[in-house]
Structure 1
Amino acid sequence: MRSVIIALVCGAAAYAAYLVVVRLNGKIALANVPRIGAKRPRQAENPGEREADAGDYGRYSMSAKQRAFACAAAGAVLFAIGYLFYQNVAICAVLSLGGLYYPRARRRQLIRKRKDELGRQFKHALYSLSTALSAGRSVENAFAEAGNDLRLLYPDRTADMLRELDRINRLTENGEPIERSLLDFGRRSGIADVQQFAEAFAACKRTGGDLVEVMRRTSNMIGEKMEIEQDISVLVAQKRFEAKALGLIPFVIVAFLAFSSPDYMAPLYGGAGHLVMTAALAVLVASQWLARKIMDIGT
């Protein structure tokens, strides 16, 4: 009973640490990013800020403090799971070493979260551009108007799309072709919709087509596509929660049996029982991986 209580306490502490790390890293990834195009300081505060200065949304370098928190949280979770399934400190210590690989997965999560937020902001910018162009404004004035509209939607000036529009408008005022700025933004964003919009805009500028009509149709098509993707994401959100709940139930059952019937579970914590628990743990991990792959639509 004592070992089960220790395992449950470790699991609760690990889960609490995981929530703290997720909230901290999420805020840093979406908000604590230096202004793109601004004068670079002599020495960045951490590697994550140095990567953000480059404006590449496909890269993010975590600071030493972030990596330490992520490794500690993942290691604690793995240690608790190992103690629940094996009740062997040596095996738990070996399993906890897997937490060293968690920062890579966390970095991918932060990059994806930032791109998703950028895509939503880009959709709002497209609607503003389409409205301004339909009202007879020039392309340059339409981008300036889009920046003003986004300031009303996102009072926080650290919004990525707001900084990108400011950068495009600033380069345009300095004589930089607007299509070149858009193509650069599409390349750095790594988002297919942004790249397609930039390429359509550049092609229309080169061929001398009806820029207003092309931008209006392109904006409407991309906006409708993003709305469909968001609707699908909302529909799948409930299934994702159910998959996480189903993945947690086996661990609760094992903890309940170990607490209520320690004699019944004793054969599983020694000899050939380790093989049975290892096979069960492997099946649980494989099922969670498969559920995540099925739910990750569009990735």
Structure 2
Amino acid sequence: MMLGALCAALACFAGLQAVFGGLRLGQPSASRVIRATTLSPVEWRLHQRRHEGWYQRWVRPFALLWGGRLRLRPARIDPHYLVQAGLEPDQIDGVEFRALRLMSGAAGGLLAAVLAITFSGAFMLVPLFAWAGYVTPARYLARRRRRRQDALQRELPQLISLLRAFTVAGMPLERTLHILSVNRQADTLLWGEIQRALGRYGLGLSIEQALEEVGVRTGVDDVAMFVGAVAQSKRIGGDLDGTLRDQELMVRLNQRNRSTAKAAAVGTKLLAVLGGIYLPEFVILIVVPLFWGIMQRAFG
């Protein structure tokens, strides 16, 4: 019974990870953005309510309600951490996040209680389920940030190659970024950050400051180094083509090193499998019977 309850718990946890891990925030198209700028304040609020997801409609009101009633202390959340995970700081605050963790822990404990009623002897899983539910929101946020940063690292070499091709043709950096961001074929994360940088540039920031904020928003070292080098070259009037060439070589070298490190990590995981599965079987099936036979012959 305990084994069945444990398997059911693992299946539920895997299902929650599959559901929450597949959530993605799509980027709005240019026509929708232009149409949204013509809406009145009342129409804008109605537009936001119509396009709210299930979290904003159902979960967030309960989290804010119970967070206010219980007077929870706000959790410490770095705004840059939320941005790097693909969320804006105004979408979730510290009180809401702590209430969400408590609600998730209560839901995990309730699920374990239901399993304990169904399967006898499963009450020991109630603390485990409650703890797993409590840490799930933080784990999901960290996983979302890691997946987003991995996607940004994969998109960076292609971005540098395109910028270098247009720069060699004699096109200015600002014009190149505008053309590539408008005429991009795929809705990628890095080009979305470039579009936001161009928006800040249009609101009065210099192109150097707008590009440097891209590195802060992504939290990826390669992206921060690339935009910093481009901004520095633009600021001092250096050779932009040479800077892009060096950055492309360095980014591709780092990408190759990461691939090599991942390949080496596979061998370590195989060693863990050998040590965690085959070694206990060897001890139970061979070493223990052999030792028991020796002891019987010696003292029997």
The answer to whether the Cα contact below 8 Å between 2:2 and 2:122 also exists between their aligned partners in 1 is: no
Higher relative CO (Cα under 8 Å, sequence separation at least 6) belongs to: 1
Q: 1:115 aligns with which of 143, 149, 153?
A: 149
Q: Partner residue of 1:180?
A: 209
Q: 2:9 aligns with which of 7, 14, 29?
A: 14
Matches within 5 A, 1:60-99: 89-99=122-132
**Structure 1 110/68 Cα, relative in aligned 2: closer, same or farther at 3 Å?**
farther
What SS does the aligned partner of 2:124 have?
helix
What SS does the aligned partner of 1:56 have?
helix
Q: Partner residue of 2:289?
A: none
Q: Partner residue of 2:83?
A: 56
Query: What code does the residue aligned with 2:163 have?
Result: L
The answer to whether the Cα contact below 8 Å between 1:129 and 1:145 also exists between their aligned partners in 2 is: no
**Structure 1 70/181 Cα, relative in aligned 2: closer, same or farther at 3 Å?**
farther
Q: Please give the per-residue CA displacement for 1:233-271, whole angstroms capped at 9, x wherever unaligned.
A: 244245436636865x49x97xx99xxxxxxxxxxxxxx
The answer to whether the Cα contact below 8 Å between 1:147 and 1:165 also exists between their aligned partners in 2 is: yes
Q: 2:227 aligns with which of 198, 201, 210?
A: 198
Query: Greater Rg, structure 1 or structure 2?
Result: 2
What is the alpha-carbon root mean square deviation over aligned residues? Answer: 4.5
Distance (whole Å) between structure 2 residues aligned to residue 108 and residue 116 of structure 1:
12
The answer to whether the Cα contact below 8 Å between 1:58 and 1:188 also exists between their aligned partners in 2 is: no
- Structure 2 gaps, min length 5: 38-43, 61-76, 286-300
The answer to whether the Cα contact below 8 Å between 1:179 and 1:202 also exists between their aligned partners in 2 is: yes
TM-score normalized with structure 2 length: 0.59
Query: What code does the residue aligned with 1:195 have?
Result: A
What SS does the aligned partner of 2:171 have?
coil
Q: Please give the per-residue CA displacement for 1:87-119, whole angstroms capped at 9, x wherever unaligned.
A: 954433333332222332232122111111122
**Structure 1 230/135 Cα, relative in aligned 2: closer, same or farther at 3 Å?**
farther
Query: What code does the residue aligned with 2:155 have?
Result: Q
- Structure 1 gaps, min length 5: 1-5, 81-86, 258-299
Give the number of aligned pairs.
232
Distance (whole Å) between structure 2 residues aligned to residue 68 and residue 243 of structure 1:
35
Offset, 1:20: 2.2
Query: What code does the residue aligned with 2:166 have?
Result: A
1:231 matched to 2:260? The reply is yes
Query: What code does the residue aligned with 2:221 have?
Result: A
Distance (whole Å) between structure 1 residues aligned to residue 164 and residue 154 of structure 2:
16
Offset, 1:186: 0.8
The answer to whether the Cα contact below 8 Å between 2:108 and 2:129 also exists between their aligned partners in 1 is: no
Distance (whole Å) between structure 1 residues aligned to residue 214 and residue 170 of structure 2:
25
Q: Partner residue of 1:140?
A: 174
**Structure 1 148/246 Cα, relative in aligned 2: closer, same or farther at 3 Å?**
farther
